[in-house]
Structure 1
Amino acid sequence: MSVLKGSQNVTICNANGLKLAARLELPDIPPRGMAMIAPAFGCTKEILIASRTARRLLQYGIGSLRLDFTGIGQSEGDFSMTNLDTQVEDFVSAADWLRQHVAAPNILIGHSFGGLVALNACHSIPESRACVTIATPESPAHVLEIIGEDKTREIMQGGATSIEVNRQPYVLRRQFADHARQFRLHDTMQRLRVPVLIMHSPRDEMVPMRHAHAIFETARHPKSLLAIEDADHMVSERPAAEFVASTIGLWGMRYLTDG
């Protein structure tokens, strides 16, 4: 176990040698487990649901690491050249760093698009014992539905378009659209060999509840589907966020090695 303690910013190099910014949270006692948190599409590690979950997990003796993916926040790289696979690679690089400096992660958590990252990273992180998705779409192609037909047409005809996520401007290229449309949820869920907790709000307008049902129906047992009452897609309301974080802590404890 590492001598690292408390809450601190760390830098992780991904497979391409790019420096990724991450936030490490460790309890005062040796952690009972380590979680990794993948933020939503285009969002930084400081998004409220990620930071609140990390802090609440400390109360269960669970440490965590959350990161800015390539080209987001304080991380190096070109966001327009990223897709689901590159974000999974970033996540696996972060797991490698944790394994070397603290302890391998055993709970993988993802919000929105980050849930797809967590699901797809599980088979590349052998120590993972549980996975949690929060407001996650059934396919990365749902991003194209969110940006709309006009923006998608710009991508397919012109090769790129400008978008805004959480008040931050980004460029989305055709490579993302082509890659997203090749995704098959069935393939991902058949590879998943750990229990999964699927959390979603019935009033999520950005990613409707049907996406959670699709993931649940495709997943193997053990699996759980839990409605987050009174939450928007970003789970920005404090009571809902605290409910999500506490539930993850309680549910995840049973799958930890010494739990």
Structure 2
Amino acid sequence: MTDSMVAVELDRSRGGSLEALLALPSGEVRAYAVLAHRSAAAAAVIAETLAGSGLAVLLFESTDVEDVVRAADHLRANFEAPSVLIGHSAGGVAVLAASRRIAETRAVVTVNAPSGEIPPAHTALLVMHAPTDQVVGIQHAGHLFVAARHPKSFIALDGADHLLSDPADAAYAAAVLAAWVARHLPAAGTPAPSAAELAHRVVVTESADAPYGQRITAGRHQLTADEPVPLGKDTGPTPYDLLLAALGACTSMTLRMYAERKQLPLRQVSVQLRHARIHATDCENCETAVGLLDRIDVRIQLDGDLTDEQRDRLLAIAGKCPVHRTLHSEVQIRTSLDG
């Protein structure tokens, strides 16, 4: 172990902690990477080689996607979110799945790994596999590589075993990996996306948990969406539920901000919402005269020693929340194919 390795303890989602190491470059950090492995010796060689190329690597032994996500959260909170995810053996399956939950991912590398989820569009993929691997057959690498989108690369680790037990094999894999990663990182001095930019980035991908299930990554937050039974499996709110949640949350936040600014004795806000499709003839003040239209009913409960005048003012303010105004304004939605 070298002085460039720093011990780190990560909190696990199911409780307890995970011991990890952070390999740091001697000079400026060009980017951060996460390495989930099953061989401490090979992982150390890879991490130290990448550190020599300017990458800081957080490495740990795990095959759990939640551990990879937690590791990324740790780097994001304390340094910078990882742009490279590396997985050895079953750790490769974990980083493939995590690439859809870590919005900052630019490149994914698997080493002697079973096939898994395909990384998001425009995420570079390097598949490294030993043709003579007796634990995970080379066919797994073939399935993953064929299914993945470009940019993608494949490197055969001729003569190596599953754990890269021979130091020479580990060194070769590390050198090739470092050279490949360098091609898929921003040039030195390129500013990383700001926290504000990431906060407004939402990525939705299909989930394998249900026919219509979706994984939603909003900045560093994870959500799910689905359709109710029998069409779906009810693994998450419906899209309209999420729309109502956005309006309700925005309404409550707007009321709280106003009450704080005006020093009103507002203790608690609760917003109930319901969406329905109604006939236009049932709406007296709507521009649409025929057919069906959407109606959202919003009921607000205000707890606190408020006067009637204060309650009326809060009701008026509720209609000024940004999401409410967006739903009432002209919205341009630009849709294009990616890749």
User: TM-score band, normalised by the shorter chain?
Assistant: 0.5 to 0.7
| 2: CA distance, partners of 1:128 / 1:11 | 22
| Partners of 1:190 and 1:107 in 2: CA distance | 12
Q: Secondary structure at the match of 1:225?
A: strand
Task: Tell me the number of residue pairs that the alignment of Structure 1 and Structure 2 aligns.
Answer: 186
Residue 258, structure 1, aligned to residue 251, structure 2? no
- 8 A Cα contact 2:23 2:56, kept in partner: yes
The 5-angstrom pairing of residues 51-200 of structure 1 reads 51-69=44-62, 87-138=64-115, 185=116, 188-189=117-118, 191=120, 193-200=122-129
The CA deviation at 1:193 is: 4.3
Q: Once superposed, what is the RMSD of the aligned Cα atoms?
A: 1.7
Query: Aligned partners of 2:119 and 2:54: how far apart in 1?
Result: 31
Preserved contact between residue 122 and residue 150 of structure 2 (Cα < 8 Å): no
Deviation (angstroms), 1:34 = 1.1
Aligned-partner SS, 2:45: helix
The equivalent of 2:10 in structure 1 is 12
Q: CA offsets, 1:157-187, max 9 Å, x none? A: xxxxxxxxxxxxxxxxxxxxxxxxxxxx4xx
Aligned match of 1:239? 168
Match of 2:130?
201
Superimposed CA distance per residue, residues 17-59 of structure 1 (whole angstroms, 9 cap, x where no aligned partner): 422211011112121111110113xx6xxx2111110011111
Q: Distance in 1 between matches of 2:28 and 2:157?
A: 31
Whether the 8 Å CA contact 1:34–1:103 is kept in 2: the answer is: yes
Aligned residue among 21, 28, 31 for 2:29: 31
Contact 1:122 1:192 in 2 (8 A): no
SS at match of 1:189: coil
Q: Structure 2: which amino acid aligns with 1:100?
A: A
Alignment partner, residue 157 of structure 2 = 228
Aligned AA for 1:97? H
AA of the residue aligned to 1:220: R
* 2:143 alignment partner AA: A
Secondary structure of 2:176's match?
helix
TM-score normalised per structure 2: 0.52
Cα offset, 1:90, TM superposition: 1.2
Q: Distance in 2 between matches of 1:107 and 1:66?
A: 12
1:182 corresponds to: none
In structure 2, the residue corresponding to 1:110 is in which secondary structure? strand
Per the alignment, residue 298 of structure 2 pairs with none
Unaligned runs of 5+ in 1: 70-83, 139-184
Helix, strand or coil at the partner of 2:100: helix
1:191 positional shift: 4.1
Percent identity, please. 36
Q: 5+ residue gaps in structure 2?
A: 189-339
Shift of 1:209: 1.1
DSSP 3-state at the match of 1:66:
strand
- RCO higher in 1 or 2 (8 Å CA, sep ≥ 6)? 1
Quick check: which has more Rg, 1 or 2?
2
Contact 2:35-2:57 at 8 Å conserved across structures: yes
Cα displacement (A) at 1:192: 5.5
Identify if the C-alpha distance between structure 1 residues 96 and 190 changes in structure 2 by more than 3 Å, giving closer, same or farther. Answer: closer
